[in-house]
Amino acid sequence: MQKIRNIAVIAHVDHGKTTLVDGLLGQSGTFTSHEHVDERAMDSNALEKERGITILSKNTAIRYKEHKINIIDTPGHADFGGEVERVLKMVDGVLLLVDAYEGVMPQTKFVVKKMIALGKKPIVVINKIDKPAAEPDRVVDEVFDLFVAMEASEEQLEFPIVYAAARDGIAKMDMGDEDGNFECLFEAIVNEIPEPEGDAGNPAQAQVFTLDYDNYVGKIGIARIFNGTIKKGDSVMLAKADGEMVKGRLSKLIGFHGLNRMEIDQAEAGDIIAFAGFETVDVGDSVVDPANPMPLDPMHIEEPTLSVVFSVNDSPLAGTEGKHVTSNKIKDRLEAEMTTNVAMRLETIGEGKFKVSGRGELQITVLAENMRREGYEFGIGRPEVIVKEIEGVKCEPFEHLVIDTPDDFSGTIIERLGKRKAEMKSMVPMGEGYTRIEFEIPARGLIGFRGMFLTDTKGEGVMNHSFLEFRPYSGTVESRQYGALISMEGGVAMAYSLFNLQDRGVLFIEPQDKVYEGMIIGEHARSNDLTVNPIKGKAQSNVRSSGADEAIKLVPPRDMNLEKALEWIEDDELLEVTPENVRIRKRYLTENERKRNDRSKK
């Protein structure tokens, strides 16, 4: 039996999970001296590198003395909570990271709740102890209180504590100790995390917890072996969640070491491997011995709470910037996403319209941004929450919202959220001039709130939210306060007309940008929509006038990226997303169509 330890790294977003895994990889001697390793090596996707967040859980394996340690790095965002839940079932213990200043945050509570329910053994790592405002002792007390509140077992409450500054590769068991390296953390993992249960002599049993895709071998299942030995070329059975049994052969068996994957011939109980050979493999499926099939319990995956409609782009500029523009291409790409992303759902709702449901705005904008970079052109509607009927009552998703704001702005924030049906649960001073306020709010109330929140707190506020539960529908929620500036003509925007329009509100476009009738070029300073002409040039005449040579001074336009634009739009508006631009437009482009549509609603 190999000496194996399986651990997951869990934490709130931005508390340093991926950086800690970097340190573990670096100090275990996994990389040779001449290998160049990027910072946050586990974040392989271009979007992950840019945003500094983990989107997909990833696994790696390191050697420490005679032990093999399988580590799974998990996402911290609430939108990807489904990934964390699945990963926890595959490991025997966790490294729970908590920021030495921020302490327990909403996602920390979410992951701890899952960990305690599954009975996993934690090692608590108090990270970022080098921060000037760090208070490790307060944070340890917060973590202990959280464990007690979540009804942790006696064994879970006796968690070892490691103090670390993961970025600098420093870890120690006591704040009074000298700064050391990660040796004490490796020792804690080997000594505190239990060995995997299971026997290599039993019939084979493995469960898939995440999926990958390879153009040559097709779908790849990444699984943990709970019992038995699995060999390359074995004939096995795949037990599906609905009870169906599929016979097949393992065409490839892949092992992990550092950032590399290599083909292996066999693996035993307790190890984490990847395999190919089944096109129908899905998360939660079990690989079992055909002679003695004993499937494991299928996994419960959390339901989506938000949906958005992707459609074929039908604007006057359609097809001029994208490579893949037809409904078939968009459908194929969305279906490919569904093969590896189990937290999302897809349904076709009409000619060239596809409803994508997910766990939050971030998850959907990440998909849209990836598609845009791959050359796709499409339209997106406003996100809508998924409303369910539970025991005859119309219910909607509610979120637990935590806001850290400078003291001066707390009144404004409470007032804003009150109009969005939020209920304040607690308000605690954090010191350093900050206050932490907790709310319970309908998920609808959060759509479009982030941009307003950043403006209100002058960019200094921090907001985090995680899914709470479905509750009875709470009536109408206030939406955007301001109207839109809509172009009445098509052509190229002129500096002269934009200069005259900037008093009317905030512009989203620059001179020489292409515009068309029905395109939204800015936010009106009042609550109504206003049609304007952004392509009118200055009339030339041969008569001299005193203001002829005055320089035109334009205010820089508001930068509307995909996320900001998706939060900003209303139900009668769409985003036109192309590889080069994100434009905002009215669903009905001409004024006559809009009026006719308004009348038909009444």
* CB-based contacts of 140-149 (< 8 A; 24+ apart in sequence): 142/98, 142/103, 142/104, 143/96, 143/98, 143/103, 143/104, 146/104, 146/108, 146/109, 146/112, 147/112, 147/116
Whether residue 16 is annotated as binding a ligand: the answer is yes
Whether residue 17 is annotated as binding a ligand: the answer is yes
Whether residue 129 is annotated as binding a ligand: the answer is yes
Q: List, in sequence order, every beta strand (DSSP E) within 180-311.
A: 205-214, 218-227, 229-231, 235-239, 245-249, 252-257, 260-263, 266-268, 272-276, 286-288, 306-311
User: CB-based contacts of 415: which residues, under 8 Å, 6+ apart?
Assistant: none
Whether residue 19 is annotated as binding a ligand: the answer is yes
Element housing 121 (H / E): strand 121-127
Whether residue 301 is annotated as binding a ligand: the answer is no
Mark residue 82 as left, alpha or beta (left: phi above 0; alpha: psi -120 to 50; beta: remaining).
alpha
Pseudo-torsion of CA 370, 373, 379, 384, nearest 10°? 20
In sequence order, the β-bridge partners of residue 220 are 212, 276
The CA distance from 374 to 167, in Å, is 33
Are 352 and 327 contacting, i.e. CB atoms less than 8 angstroms apart?
A: yes
Residue by residue, DSSP assigns 207-239 as EEEEEEEETTTEEEEEEEEEESEEETT-EEEEE
199-235: string of b/e by CB count within 10 Å (b at 16+)? ebeeebbbbbbbbbeeeeeebbbbbbbbbbbbebebe
Whether residue 252 is annotated as binding a ligand: the answer is no
The CA distance from 173 to 21, in Å, is 18
Q: Could you give phi then psi for residue 449, rounded to 5 degrees? A: -85, -30
The CA distance from 422 to 428, in Å, is 17
Element housing 514 (H / E): strand 514-515
Whether residue 10 is annotated as binding a ligand: the answer is no
Whether residue 15 is annotated as binding a ligand: the answer is yes
Whether residue 257 is annotated as binding a ligand: the answer is no
> What is the sign, positive or negative, of the torsion defined by CA atoms of 406, 410, 416, 421?
positive
Distances (CA, A) of 407 to 184, 423, 452: 40, 19, 17
Task: Please compute, for residue 387, the number of CA atoms within 13 A of its CA located in the half-sphere on the CB side.
Answer: 10
Q: Annotated binding residues for GTP, as ranges?
A: 14-19, 127-130
Q: Annotated binding residues, as ranges?
A: 14-19, 127-130
